[in-house]
Amino acid sequence: MTTSTDVRATPAPERQKRRHNPITWVQRGGLTTLLFLLPLLIIFGVFSWSPIVQAVIMSFQKTNLVTPPIFVGWDNFVAVFNDPLFWTAVRNTAYFAFLAILIGYPVPLVVAVLMSEVRRFKGLFSVLAYLPVVILPVVSVLLWKIFYDAGPTGVFNTILGWFHIPPQPWIQDAATAMPSLVLQATWAGAGGTIIIYLAAMTSVAPELYDAAEVDGASLWAKIWHVTLPQLRGILFITFILQIIATAQVFLQPYLFTGGGPANSTTTILLLIYQYAFTNSLGGAYGEATALSLMLAVFLAVLSIVYFRLTARWSDQ
């Protein structure tokens, strides 16, 4: 990044002459600047900053949309903690994140390492890997919902039948529902991560590999001691990004199972949605915002701790 000279570095005498009155301000272009900032101020003000503040306020209120909201203190937070479904949702979300990391974190790395060595047709590999990402997420889920039909003539069950494996319940059984969701989510998202890793790998300086070979490093050693450490930065970042994203998973539970069977795929986001938008005749907006704030705080703390830890590891 080129460093830029600070345009505001005015010489001292002119500074002292400056008076704070509206006319000079406008003459110096203050109004123009404000004009340019108008879209940002309006859009962020109305659709970002104000709602954030509102969220905090609403979490301490009881709102229906007819009468003015009532201040209820910590009641909403207490209600959320006392809701058994909350603990289920936390467990489910953690489970989803865990599975997603388990399947979705190493696989793109392995594939990227393999793909980086491809001499010819690299484009073909990249296109194939990225293809699932291009499909509309909604379409992807709907397609996989059809794949997951639990009857013996469902697509996946038919394939399993070729290998004499009995038909699986997929999303129809609490034990297999969450893994099924994670499988589809990984399929849909891995391609993007693969491309990122590939790009990062091209920035590894060849001299490092040369140096390693001079030291007599084997293939494995090269990967372990050169590739991975060089990728460390991006690996750390994609890890936390993946956790933050999976903590907010909504699409899969909503479209695949609606939170079932028996609440086994109800995630925190789905619960927030249910609090706000599926309670009969007017939602529990206070509890919804309370829960969303709790999630936000948790993710913020997690990120801070994570960056502290990884900073220490990077230094070692």
Partner 1 sequence: MTTTVPAQEVQVTEPLPDSGVPGKRPRRRPRAAEAEDRHILSAADWRRPRVRITTNVLHVILLILLVLVGLFPLLWLFKSGITPTQDTLTNPLALFPNGVAWDNVAKAWNDVHIGDFFFNTIAMAAGEWAVQLIVATTAGFALSVLRPKYGRYLAGLVLATLFVPAVVLLVPLYLTILHPPLIGHSLINTFWAVWLPAGASAFNVLLVMRFFDSLPREIFEAARTDGAGTFRLFWSIVLPMSKPILGVVSVFAINAAWADFLWPNLVLADIHIQPLSVRLPQIQSSTDLGVYLAALSIATLIPVVIFLIFQRTFLRGGGLGGAVKG
Partner 2 sequence: MKSVKPRRLGSKVVALGLVTAASVAMLSACSSDNGGSSDGKVNLVVAPVLPGATEDALTTLATRVKEFEKKNPDIHVKAIEYQWTASTFAAELAGGTLPDVFNVPFTDSKTLANNGQLADITTPFKQTSTADKWNKTVLNVATGDNGKVYGIPWGPYAMALSYNRDIFKQAGLDPDKPPTTLDEIQADAKTISEKVPGVAGYMQMTKDSTGGWNLATATQALGGRLETTGSDGKVTVKTDNDQTKQALSWLQKMRWQDNSMGSNFLWDWSGINQGFASGKIAMYMSGSDVVGSLMQANGFDQSKYGVTTFPVDSSNSKAGILSGGNVDVVNVKDTPEQIAAAVKWIDFYRTQPQVNESDAVTLAKSNQAGKQAVNAPTLPLFDKATWQQYQTWIKPYANIPADNLKPFNDGIFSQTIVPEPPAHTQDLYAALDAVVQAVLTDKNADVDTLLKGVDTKVQALIDADAKK
Give the binding site for partner 2 (CB under 8 A).
7-8, 10, 14, 23, 26-35, 38, 42, 64-66, 84, 149-154, 167, 169, 171-174, 257-258, 260-263, 277-283
Can you give the length of the chain in residues?
Answer: 316
Query: Considering the complex, what minimum distance in angstroms separates the CB of residue 142 from partner 2?
Result: 13
Q: Which does 23 bind (CB under 5 to 8 A by kind): partner 1, partner 2, none?
A: partner 2
Q: Does 285 bind partner 1 (CB under 8 A)?
A: yes
CA 112 to chain centre: 21
Question: Of these partners, partner 2, partner 1, none, which one is at the site of residue 279 (CB under 5 to 8 Å by kind)?
Answer: partner 2
Report the alpha-carbon distance of residue 281 to residue 42 in Å, rounded.
32
| Residue 245 touching partner 1 (CB under 8 A) | yes
Q: Answer yes or no: are the C-beta atoms of 156 and 163 closer than 8 Å.
A: no
Q: Provide, rounded to whole angstroms, the least separation between the CB of residue 182 and partner 2.
A: 18
| Contacts of partner 1 in 141-200 (CB under 8 A) | 142-144, 146-147, 153-155, 158-159, 187, 189, 191-193, 195-196, 198-199
- Closest by CA to 170, choosing from 154, 159, 185, 186, is 154
Minimum CB distance to partner 2 smaller for 33 or for 218: 33
| Of 14 and 315, CB closest to partner 2 | 14
Residue 16 in contact with partner 1, rule: CB under 8 A: no
The reply to whether 241 sits near partner 1 by the rule CB under 8 A is yes
Contacts of 144 (CB under 8 A, 6+ apart): 184, 187, 256
Give the shortest CB-136-to-partner 2 separation in angstroms: 20
Burial class (CB in 10 A: 0-12, 13-18, 19+), 227: buried
Pairing of strands 61-62, 70-71: antiparallel
* CA triple 257-261-262, angle to 5 deg: 130
Site residues (CB under 8 A) for partner 1, limited to 208-237: 209-210, 213, 219, 222-223, 226-227, 233-234, 237
Residue 281 in the binding site for partner 1 (CB under 8 A): no
Q: Give the C-alpha separation, 229 to 206, whole Å.
A: 14
Q: How many CA atoms lie within 13 A of 250 on its CB side?
A: 8
Tell me if residue 148 falls in helix, strand or coil: coil
Could you tell me the smallest distance in angstroms from the CB atom of residue 249 to partner 1? Answer: 8
Shortest Å, Cβ 84 to partner 1: 21
Task: Name which of residues 84 to 143 contact partner 1 (CB under 8 A).
Answer: 111, 113-119, 121, 123-139, 142-143
Asked whether position 64 contacts partner 1 by CB under 8 A, the answer is: no
Q: How far apart are CA 51 and CA 48, in angstroms?
A: 5
Distance in angstroms (rounded) separating the CA atoms of residues 135 and 312: 39
Interface with partner 1, residue 271, by CB under 8 A? no
3-class SS of residue 96: helix
| 261: preceding bond cis by omega (within 30 degrees) | yes
With CB under 5 to 8 Å by kind, the binding choice for 106 among partner 1, partner 2, none is: none
Q: Is residue 276 at the binding interface for partner 1, with CB under 8 A as the rule? A: yes
Taking a C-beta distance cutoff of 8 angstroms, is the pair 168, 150 a contact? yes
Q: Which is nearer to partner 1, 166 or 175 (CB)?
A: 166
Cβ proximity to partner 2, 69 vs 132, nearer residue = 69
Q: Which of residues 286-315 bind partner 1 (CB under 8 A)?
A: 288-289, 292-293, 295-296, 299-300, 303
- Could you tell me how far CA 193 lies from the centroid of its own chain? 12
